[in-house]
Amino acid sequence: MGEDNINLPPGFRFYPTDEELILHFLYRKAAHQPCHPNIIPDLDLDCYDPWELNGKALEAENKWYFFSHVTQNRASTNGYWKMLGVDEPILSGSRTVGLKKCLVFYIGEAPEGIKTNWVMHEFHLLDCGATGSSRSSRRKAKPRMVSNEWVLCRVSETNCSSQGSCCDEESELSCLDEVFLSLDDLDEISLPN
């Protein structure tokens, strides 16, 4: 479902903000309202590894977008998605309209999987009772997210070492940093003055 299938005039690109993803796409999907153009497909997150999304999800700017149902077990045949950090509130003006969760894909079985550079932002709507931006509103909304709700997912492959950190997780070392730190006798290295 690459950009060739999007029915937009030449020169237009799909580059929505987090707020636009919540209000113009996810809200309409959850409310069973039509979305024009209807370009984001529904996918079962458990059926695909992140590198298999090409041609199945909407691709724009090296990111893949799709709708999925909320699941507790975010695992595929080759790995699993591990949640990182805390949920980030998505604001529209001063009102909290949704939450963004950050996940990283690990190859293998939990908890001993091997971390990859695949990152997913999972966007959630808040329920009707959580319209304010206060901390208590967000706490009320989380338990009321049920398994049949829709989420909007944005998946990308990042280069953590060049961007500092992924999803506020500790940054990884570059290959040169790892080689440098693996040297046993750092005192014997003479650096130019």
Q: Are 133 and 96 in contact (CB under 8 A)?
A: yes
Determine the pLDDT at residue 55. Answer: 92
Measured between alpha carbons, how far is 74 from 83 in angstroms, rounded to an integer? 9
Measured between alpha carbons, how far is 154 from 58 in angstroms, rounded to an integer? 9
- What global pTM score does this model have? 0.71
Per residue in 154-178, pLDDT (tens digit) is 999 987 654 444 554 434 444 444 4
- Partnered with residue 122 across adjacent β-strands are 101, 153
Determine the pLDDT at residue 192. Answer: 58
Per residue in 100-137, pLDDT (tens digit) is 999 999 999 988 999 999 999 999 998 644 344 444 44
Decide which of 68 and 188 is more confident: 68
* Three-state secondary-structure class, residue 155: strand
Measured between alpha carbons, how far is 148 from 145 in angstroms, rounded to an integer? 9
Confidence of residue 87 (pLDDT cuts 50, 70, 90): very high
Q: Are 126 and 93 in contact (CB under 8 A)?
A: no
Verify cis geometry, omega within 30 degrees of 0, for the bond prior to 192.
no
Among residues 42, 116, 107, the alpha carbon closest in space to that of 75 is found at 107
**Which residues have CB under 8 Å from 91's CB, separation 6+?**
19, 97, 133
Per residue in 57-80, pLDDT (tens digit) is 999 989 999 999 888 788 998 999
Q: Are 105 and 78 in contact (CB under 8 A)?
A: no
Per residue in 4-63, pLDDT (tens digit) is 455 667 888 889 999 999 999 999 998 888 887 789 999 998 889 999 999 999 999 899
Determine the pLDDT at residue 62. Answer: 93
Determine the pLDDT at residue 97. Answer: 92
Measured between alpha carbons, how far is 67 from 74 in angstroms, rounded to an integer? 14
Q: Does residue 147 carry a pLDDT above 80?
A: no
